[in-house]
Amino acid sequence: MPHTLLLAEPRGFCAGVVRAIDVLDEVLDREEPPIYAFHEIVHNRHVVDGFRERGAVFVETIAEVPEGSRIVFSAHGISPQVVAEAEERNLRVIDATCPLVTKVHLEAKKAAKDGFDVLLVGHEGHDEVVGTKGEAPDRTTVVDTPEDVAAVGDGGREKFVVTQTTLSVDDTAATIAAIQERFPNAEIRNDICYATTNRQAAVREIAERADLVIVVGSANSSNSVRLQEVAAGTGTTAYRVDGISEVDPSWYEGVEVVGLSAGASVPDSLLDPIIDDLRARGVTTIEPVVVAEETVEFRPPEVAS
């Protein structure tokens, strides 16, 4: 049975998620429910369920929201079309889009205005990608893999490359290399954020020393899924779980060293029961494996009355 637990650092909440959660938390304290949120405020089932119990209503379209209601936009960002729809319905908007996602929107918008075709490296259909693509829908092509790059038409315009913030660092490098080969003059912005980069580096480090890695995070959390993939990519057995209820104790059989990490939308409270359970099973050494110190903080978004 395991005797050592390696804790990836950093892991869990990033500055953008803290900002989005804090703002919805404050609005729910201050105003009468229902408070609407466009898309899940962050991609974590436990966080979202907790807000739902307090009166938050998560919607997929603006048409679901009654005129004049309070609405919070999620950390993943929204397209200008959604902003316009919210204005038409006189919604009282708080935009909790992570500033690092906003930066990608601005890059894509400017590139299209300057006459480029935008290649958006990311996962088609992900909330963040839908929002970024909305800045210049007619000029933007989403590419996920090097194979997708081969299918991109020339279009006669120079290419400008932006990325989703929560991608695999390694997979993105391969896709960008394919773009550079096909379009040597392409202007490249790699927008994978500090939190994604640091969490992937930390999980790789623990995976190289562990017999088993557990990543806490929801299935719709891009960065959590990437962490499991990065850990598994080292050859170590790696599972992603939403919480301890999904941990199968048989995973620990024959395992001496366990590694634990969590996606950027995961509170530490979801890791505590897993750590306590491992202690009860005989883990005596708990070692933080630190690859980076994070000091990033974002100012809260504007709250109009």
Distance of closest approach, residue 128 Cβ to ligand SF4, in angstroms:
8
What are the beta bridge partners of residue 59? 38
Residues 25-64: x where in contact with ligand SF4 by CB under 6 A, - otherwise, as a string: ----------------------------------------
Which member of 44, 132, 196, 236 binds ligand SF4 (CB under 6 A)?
Answer: 196
| Secondary structure (H, E, C), 248-276 | CHHHHCCCCEEEEEECCCCCHHHCHHHHH
Cα separation of the two ends of the chain: 56
Q: Which helix (H) or strand (E) holds 64?
A: none
Nearer to ligand SF4, 16 or 131 (CB): 16
Nearer to ligand SF4, 101 or 215 (CB): 101
Q: What are the counts of helices (DSSP H) followed by strands (DSSP E) for the chain?
A: 10, 13
Tokens of 228: 């499991």
Number of residues that bind ligand SF4 (CB under 6 A): 15
Distance CA 184, CA 176 (A): 11
Q: Go through the chain and tell me how many residues it has.
A: 305
Which member of 72, 193, 266, 289 binds ligand SF4 (CB under 6 A)?
Answer: 193
Which member of 44, 69, 140, 165 binds ligand SF4 (CB under 6 A)?
Answer: 165
Tokens of 58: 């998560």
Nearer to ligand SF4, 100 or 178 (CB): 100
Nearer to ligand SF4, 128 or 242 (CB): 128
Distance CA 300, CA 240 (A): 31
The residue annotated as part of the active site, out of 9, 107, 128, 135, is: 128
* Active-site annotation holds for 181: no
Does 203 participate in binding ligand SF4 (rule CB under 6 A)? no
Q: Which stretch binds ligand SF4 (CB under 6 A): 95-103, 111-119, 224-232, 249-257?
A: 95-103
Distance CA 84, CA 87 (A): 5
What DSSP designation does 196 have?
Answer: H
Binding region for ligand SF4 (CB under 6 A): 14-17, 75, 98, 100-101, 165-166, 193, 195-196, 223, 264
User: Known catalytic residues?
Assistant: 128
